[in-house]
Structure 1
Amino acid sequence: MNEKFLELTEEKQMRIIDAAMEVFGTNEYKHAVTDEIARKAGISKGLLFYYFKNKKSLYQYVYQYCLQLLVDTIDEAGVKNKTDFFEIMRFGADKKMELIANHAYIMEFCMKAYYMNDENIAEKITQDIQQKVNTMFTDYFSHIDLFKFKEGIDPFYIFQMLQWMADGYIRTKQKTKEKLDINEIMEDYDRWEEMFKQMVYRKEYL
């Protein structure tokens, strides 16, 4: 990325980032057209490539921006002060909702990135995501109140199961070409959360 991009006003930077999220989020990477990104951002294609060397460079920048935005949003909100496992899970989900309200296509972009299969960029993206998932539990759940769990229950496996369920849910939606509806997703998540809480928490904490 050309450092001149960071010299732009925040409003101009966000026009380009949001345009890229929309085009990359609604198309497979190879079908995402940089002319369309430039048009939606209100700049010329030449200027877009002045700021970013190529399509891959732009994509990787926007991906890193989204990842850092999510981490900063959760960290700044004091999630590490919470000790209830399901409260932390819900808190993270609510913060993602706030991000979606401010960036209309951030969910579509992140989902496309998560399931990226373009060989030119998929390996690096997959490594980044896996590394973040591997550290997420330690970062946000290491201080939870373990006494709330029934004997023999490991919260890490509950965390993994919820992730796997969400992964399968989204893959099914994508296979059937259904549009991802955040409100519908959260309604289903509420049901999963209640079901798991009943299974793993001691009665006095339900």
Structure 2
Amino acid sequence: MSYDVFENLDEAKRLAIINAGLKIFSEYGYTKSSVDAITKEAGISKGSLFYYFESKKNFYLYLYEYCGNTLEKIVDSPGPDGCPSYMIYTDFFERIEAIQQLKMKCSIDYPHMSDFMKKSVFETAPCVKSEIEKFNTRYTHERAMAFFQGIDYSKFKEGINPMMVIQLITWCSEGCANQAALKYKQKSSDNQLSLIFQEAVDLYKAYMTLFRNTFYKEEYLK
């Protein structure tokens, strides 16, 4: 579906609608969020929202892709040489940490966006869950190789295939997210969302330390 009509709106109005959606969906999730609540928050009519997006599902998926694109721009923000700032790190794990720090900056600068993305990790509504998974798979595939260009792979132990390590890290990230989603489902409390999400981040970092200690040569361990 084309969203040209929405994209051509006055910027202030467009951002008001986006932020309203991010706020309501992050508070209530997809199923429990009502179009009435979103349009009231945005200061527009239901007819207008459906004119721009046709359905709540389309609006939710638009917001998810919007967040992904915004995050990508922040992560790829150029350094003095015009290249993404994380490219100055040639150490495999230092670059991962630099990218993580940029993502954390995004969560501070865009709180509703951060909350929305956290909530989407635990989204179970079939009509959007499958689309989110497709987007994530495509994004991971497209971005993984770009993230790891120019890395000093000589720090890895002999016989270690860095591409397999990247795949392992991808699986680890997905596993941490899935574990957090299961825990969130069992808790069934939005008050626990930030805590559960942080636990997943901490677990992911612990695995990164394990991978460094396992796959790097002894002289490169800190």
What TM-score range do you get, normalising by the shorter chain?
Answer: 0.7 to 0.9
Alignment of 1:158-173 (within 5 A): 158-173=168-183
Structure 2 CA distance for partners of 1:12 and 1:87, relative to 1, 3 Å: farther
- Residue in structure 2 matching 1:84, options 91, 94, 99: 91
Determine the C-alpha separation between the residues in 1 that align with 2:201 and 2:128: 30
Cα displacement (A) at 1:54: 2.1
Determine the C-alpha separation between the residues in 2 that align with 1:169 and 1:83: 31
Determine the C-alpha separation between the residues in 2 that align with 1:162 and 1:125: 18
Letter in 2 for 1:99: C
Letter in 2 for 1:149: F
Structure 1 residue aligned with 2:53: 52
Would you say how many aligned residue pairs link Structure 1 and Structure 2? 206
Structure 2 residue aligned with 1:40: 41
Contact 2:122 2:184 in 1 (8 A): no
Cα RMSD (Å) of the superposition? 2.7
Contact 2:176 2:203 in 1 (8 A): no
Cα displacement (A) at 1:186: 5.0
Letter in 2 for 1:43: I
Structure 1 residue aligned with 2:81: none
CA displacement, residues 58-85 of structure 1 (integer Å, 9 cap, x when unaligned): 1121111111112222222413453221
Contact 2:23 2:116 in 1 (8 A): yes
SS state at 1:143 partner: coil
Moved more, 19-28 or 157-166: 157-166
Structure 2 CA distance for partners of 1:6 and 1:157, relative to 1, 3 Å: closer
Structure 2 residue aligned with 1:73: 74
Letter in 1 for 2:220: Y
Structure 2 CA distance for partners of 1:123 and 1:192, relative to 1, 3 Å: closer
Structure 2 CA distance for partners of 1:21 and 1:150, relative to 1, 3 Å: same
Structure 2 residue aligned with 1:93: 100
Determine the C-alpha separation between the residues in 1 that align with 2:93 and 2:13: 38
- Residue in structure 2 matching 1:141, options 133, 141, 148: 148
Structure 2 CA distance for partners of 1:204 and 1:9, relative to 1, 3 Å: farther
TM-score if structure 2 supplies the norm length? 0.77
Determine the C-alpha separation between the residues in 2 that align with 1:81 and 1:67: 23
% identity of equivalent residues: 29
Moved more, 109-118 or 8-17: 109-118
Determine the C-alpha separation between the residues in 2 that align with 1:90 and 1:173: 25
Alignment of 1:1-206 (within 5 A): 3-77=4-78, 78=84, 79-154=86-161, 155-175=165-185, 176=187, 177=189, 178-181=192-195, 187-206=202-221
Letter in 2 for 1:198: N
Cα displacement (A) at 1:33: 0.6
Moved more, 102-111 or 62-71: 102-111
Determine the C-alpha separation between the residues in 2 that align with 1:187 and 1:123: 26
CA displacement, residues 4-34 of structure 1 (integer Å, 9 cap, x when unaligned): 4223333332221122112222323222111
Moved more, 119-128 or 32-41: 119-128
Determine the C-alpha separation between the residues in 1 that align with 2:131 and 2:57: 12
Contact 1:116 1:122 in 2 (8 A): yes
Determine the C-alpha separation between the residues in 2 that align with 1:125 and 1:188: 23
